[in-house]
Amino acid sequence: MKIISYIFLLSICTASANIKAETLKQVYLDQKNNVHLVTELGHDVQITKTGNSASLKLAPDNKTVAWLVMNSWIAEGDVEPQSEELKIYQNGKTKSIKCSLFIRDYWFWLNGDQVAIDCGGQHFAGWEILYNTKTLKKIASFDEAKVPLKNRPDWSHGDE
């Protein structure tokens, strides 16, 4: 029995190491809303188990993945759960960015080196914030109510 357990543990560690080293070919949510990564060599690894993932995206660098973590509750007046958290997966590690109220949208910038979020309430202007995906350090931000569309930085216009 110990040999079988050891082989199982070794296969899990090997799959995790392969994901770190390989370029990703595809990402998807399964029927239970868990995140899967598929490498260019065909390894398919499930990296979440909570079933509350949505809006999954693979960055243009094919190494960075992001998704929203949906709340388990629904705010008064809404018809579906919202998200206050964005998870970012890179090099075998998952980090998160949180926002007060909701993350209404997010997109990658500069090939996946940066990620921007549109953070705010459902029915009023919010904030757009740009982060470095490796460090999660905030690079720039602005109040949407104070900056007209024509004056907003290039990164705020969505995916490259």
- C-alpha gyration radius of the chain: 18
Average pLDDT over residues 49-59: 95
The proportion of the chain whose per-residue pLDDT surpasses 90, expressed as a percent, equals: 67
Structural domain boundaries, residue 84: 2-157
Give the count of domains, the chain.
Answer: 1
Q: What is the pLDDT of residues 133-145, one digit of tens each?
A: 999 999 999 999 9
Q: Within its chain, how far is the Cα of 89 from the centroid?
A: 7
Q: What is the pLDDT of residues 83-133, one digit of tens each?
A: 889 999 999 999 999 998 899 999 999 999 999 999 998 778 899 999 999
Entry pTM = 0.82
- Please work out, in degrees rounded to the nearest 5, the angle formed at the alpha carbon of residue 55 by the alpha carbons of 51 and 58: 110
CATH code of the domain in which 138 resides: 2.40.128
Closest alpha carbon to 68 in 93, 42, 87, 40: 87
